[in-house]
Amino acid sequence: MADSQSLITVRGISKAFPGVVALERVDFTLRKGEIHALMGENGAGKSTLIKILTGVEQPDTGSIELEHTLIRIRSPQHAQQLGISTVYQEINLCTNISVAENIMLGHEPRRFGGIHWKKLNEMARQALLRLGIELDVTQPLGMYSIAIQQMVAITRALEIASAKVLILDEPTSSLDANETARLFAVMRALKQAGIGIVFVTHFLDQVYEIVDRVTILRNGSFVGSYDIADLPRVELVAKMLGRVVGELQALAQDKARGERQPDERRLIEAAGLGLSGMLEPLDLAINVGEVLGIAGLLGSGRSELASLLFGLTSPDSGTLLIDGQSVTRFSPQESIKRGVALCPEDRKAEGIVGDLSIRENIILGLQGRYGWFKFINRQKQDEIAEKYIKLLGIRTPSPDQLVKNLSGGNQQKVILARWLVTQPRLLILDEPTRGIDVGAKAEIQKLVLELVKDGMSIVFISSELEEVVRISDRIVVLRDRAKVADYDHAVSDRTLIQTMAGEA
């Protein structure tokens, strides 16, 4: 494993938490000037390894070498001093102070004892320019998009800590295609400069686009490190999951074979439904027992459509019929009464109550329907919770586990359960599989198909086309806040991409 190009060499790292072995004898080598993907299912040990590299956790056994010197990383600050910087998915910068301050503060140039603003702004501007980004650094950071904020975070890591190692923890999960391309350009520039990048992501496409090598972890143990060129996709997935590949394929076949006879009864009928500034007027029909896929890039109006259908916002044009009845008052309460449910995109902020248990989160949904003053006895609560934990395959030691302690995929299932107890007739899923591992994705897709079999209608919004194509009966494509096409399920990924990009 040892080679002269290695920046970080991790040997035989193990880490156990009470009750679980998070990492077992893991080896990992990061070379100078390479982009190295760290992959694995949720719970594979990626985050534990990263926490060890950033000094948040201490390993139980094993050694870490930085440029061939044995080191012990004591704290995140210490990691930064050593030249190991991390940029997290949730950006750890302050949005109220200027871009320049976010980059330079801590190393700010001074004049007469005070901050030399002119020089500070110029230094920050230069630092960004080196990454090919030009912007007004005197504006507050909050003025800029998440993508720009991420680049600013990277710039800070490079400027302040003069990072040799940059860890990017799922940086792309909230970026759209253009923003991702921009980030990749920056990553390539850094790679040229000899910086080693550890890149954590769930997107296979991105791995094959930018990564040089990949290290795969499974259930806390080391599976292997590979040159990406020598590792076909299927094998990568197989190594990550082993068991699930077959399931994924079975699912695809299931869909092809199933050929459910779609119900002709209309559940939802929208005519000219729109809201100026958010969504151009569009027509939409959803039948009973049908999966309607919504494809579109970030900002194409997909979440806006979801909030209109759920009544979070009121349209200013058109009509919406649910079951042939016109909706006049748009509010979530009204929608829930009519049997419409929405699982929002941002589950942490909008969906779950992390400090409550699984049981309490699921019961919350029922309470919404029964009214706040009806008491549901504990035995009934337990029954319901058990039923849905089993039905959705939520992996937890007990229904009383706090939701915040679950993995992303399991949290998503809890939200689903919360809506399923209310037995909705239309379930709107906005990015239900974002940020969860491939295995959990397959389970959620399977669940969606089972639900429609029982006569539920589902609106499935996802930025992963494969997924949309696989499970939808019909697919509506949105672009620039307008509906541009309506396909049946036989459409190919390629046609969809062309439509979304506006080529067709």
Partner 1 sequence: MTQRLKLSVMRHGPLLTTITIFLMAYIIGAQLYPAMQRPQAFFNLFINNGFLLIIGIGMTFVILTGGIDLSVGGVLALTTAASAALLKIGFSAAFVIPLMLVMGTAIGLGLGSIIHFFKVQPFIVTLMGLFFARGLAYIISLTSVTITDPFYKYLALTPIYMPFFEKAYIYIPTLVGPLLLLVAIYLAYFTRFGRIMYALGNNEQSAGLMGFPVGRTKIMVYGFNGFCSALAGIVFSISLLAGYGQFATGVELDVIAAVVMGGTLLTGGVGSVIGTLFGILIEGTIISILQYNGTLSSWWTRICVGALTLIFIGIQSGFARRKKEL
The residues binding partner 1 (CB under 8 A) are: 76-77, 80, 91-97, 101-102, 105-106, 108, 114-115, 117, 136, 139-140, 143, 156, 160
Q: Are 289 and 452 in contact (CB under 8 A)?
A: yes
Nearer residue to partner 1 within complex by CB, 106 or 258: 106
Which residues, 6+ apart, have CB-to-CB distance to 421 below 8 Å?
362, 363, 365, 366, 384, 388
Q: What single-letter DSSP state applies at residue 327?
A: P
Nearer residue to partner 1 within complex by CB, 92 or 331: 92
Q: Are 307 and 476 in contact (CB under 8 A)?
A: no
Which residues, 6+ apart, have CB-to-CB distance to 68 below 8 Å?
6, 9
DSSP states of 199-232: EE-S-HHHHHHH-SEEEEEETTEEEEEEEGGG--
CB atoms within 10 A of CB 115: 15
Least distance from partner 1 to the Cβ atom of residue 148, Å: 15
Least distance from partner 1 to the Cβ atom of residue 76, Å: 7
Nearer residue to partner 1 within complex by CB, 143 or 193: 143
Least distance from partner 1 to the Cβ atom of residue 336, Å: 27
Nearer residue to partner 1 within complex by CB, 115 or 402: 115
Q: What is the CA radius of gyration of the chain?
A: 25
Least distance from partner 1 to the Cβ atom of residue 340, Å: 27
Helix 244-258, helix 233-241: angle, nearest 10: 110
The C-alpha angle 197, 202, 208, rounded to 5 degrees, equals 65
Q: Are 13 and 222 in contact (CB under 8 A)?
A: no
Least distance from partner 1 to the Cβ atom of residue 95, Å: 6
* Residue 81 burial (10 A CB sphere; 0-12, 13-18, 19+): middle
Nearer residue to partner 1 within complex by CB, 97 or 189: 97
Nearer residue to partner 1 within complex by CB, 136 or 283: 136
221-227 and 213-218 as β-strands: parallel, antiparallel, unpaired? antiparallel
Least distance from partner 1 to the Cβ atom of residue 123, Å: 15
Q: Are 370 and 325 in contact (CB under 8 A)?
A: no
Nearer residue to partner 1 within complex by CB, 61 or 77: 77
Least distance from partner 1 to the Cβ atom of residue 67, Å: 22
Report the phi/psi class of residue 262: left, alpha or beta, with left for phi > 0 and alpha for psi in -120 to 50. Answer: beta
Least distance from partner 1 to the Cβ atom of residue 88, Å: 8
Q: Is 396 helix (H, G, I), strand (E, B) or coil?
A: coil
Nearer residue to partner 1 within complex by CB, 159 or 437: 159
